[in-house]
């Protein structure tokens, strides 16, 4: 991928679901472009197609029509094996309900993606420990996820998403299960990943409290993007209290 090419470029993407003879159109010709280092929020009411859009970008779901290119990969023509490898090595996923494995410790949860790609256990645990330290929960590395707060669980999920050093982070309603303070802290972290580590971040949300942290807000309704109002400016106070930019820079 050329450095000036968009990280995400969707053109005319359509997706429908069939149930018996009933057809529900979810995405109706979506165009969506995101560039490297952007932190973009996709907002809209429940059922408008936000999570379907994210699943297509993340190569977990195929579009019925349209062009889907992510990090230079044409998702429509890639094989299942190629898509699996692509997801594992170039995309980090952050889920609403964390999806942590309760039978594993915090650090071993973060190690899972690295183990799958064949990294040695010692190396994987070293990287996982560094990530947990950066995210302010290094002291919880040997705990079970069951003993953590929801905010701490989401930090573990972010560490796991970063484990294989992905270029793209996709977060599906990352603040929905969190209280206000924890939710704001998590989205601050995601924004810093874009700005300090030059990652590209796409956040699916309907949480208006976090809108000031976006570079752009794209509003999806009835399967299409609506004309958006002027971008919400990022507050000068949008900074992370629990970790410094210099630490992120150094990771």
Q: Which helix (H) or strand (E) holds 172?
A: strand 168-172
Place of tokens 């009835």: 222
Q: What's the pLDDT score for residue 2?
A: 52
Mode of pairing for the β-strands spanning 216-221 and 224-225: antiparallel
Residue 173 main-chain phi, psi, to 5 deg: 50, 55
The SS3 call for residue 175 is coil
pLDDT in tens, 182-197: 888 889 988 988 888 8
155-177 average pLDDT score:
91
Q: What's the pLDDT score for residue 183?
A: 86
CA 89 to chain centroid: 14
- pLDDT of residue 250 exceeding 50, the answer is no
- pLDDT of residue 206 exceeding 90, the answer is no
Q: Give the span between the Cα atoms of 199 and 179, in whole angstroms.
A: 26
131-136 average pLDDT score:
90
pLDDT in tens, 9-55: 999 999 999 988 899 999 999 999 999 999 999 998 888 889 999 99
């Amino acid at each position: 991928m050329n450095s000036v090419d968009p990280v995400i470029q969707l053109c005319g993407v359509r997706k429908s679901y069939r149930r018996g003879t009933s057809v529900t159109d979810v995405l109706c010709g979506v165009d969506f472009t995101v560039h490297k280092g952007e932190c973009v929020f996709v907002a809209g009411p429940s059922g408008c197609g936000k999570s379907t859009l994210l699943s297509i970008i993340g190569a977990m779901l195929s579009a019925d029509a349209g062009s889907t290119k992510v990090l230079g990969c044409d998702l429509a023509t890639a094989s299942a094996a190629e898509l699996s490898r692509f997801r594992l090595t170039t995309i980090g996923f952050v889920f609403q309900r964390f999806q942590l494995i309760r039978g594993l410790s915090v650090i071993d949860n973060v190690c899972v993606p690295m183990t799958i790609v064949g990294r040695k256990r010692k190396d994987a645990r070293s990287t996982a420990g560094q990530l947990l330290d950066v995210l302010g929960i290094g002291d919880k590395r040997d705990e079970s996820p069951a003993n953590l707060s929801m905010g701490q669980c989401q930090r573990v999920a972010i560490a796991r998403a970063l484990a294989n050093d992905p270029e793209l982070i996709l977060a599906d309603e990352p603040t929905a299960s969190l209280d206000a303070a924890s939710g704001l802290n998590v989205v601050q972290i995601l924004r810093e990943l874009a700005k300090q580590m030059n990652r590209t971040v796409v956040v699916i949300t309907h949480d208006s409290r976090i809108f000031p942290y976006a570079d752009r807000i794209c509003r999806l309704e009835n399967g299409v993007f609506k004309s958006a109002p002027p971008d919400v400016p990022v507050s000068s106070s949008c900074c992370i209290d629990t970790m410094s930019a210099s630490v992120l820079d150094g990771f």
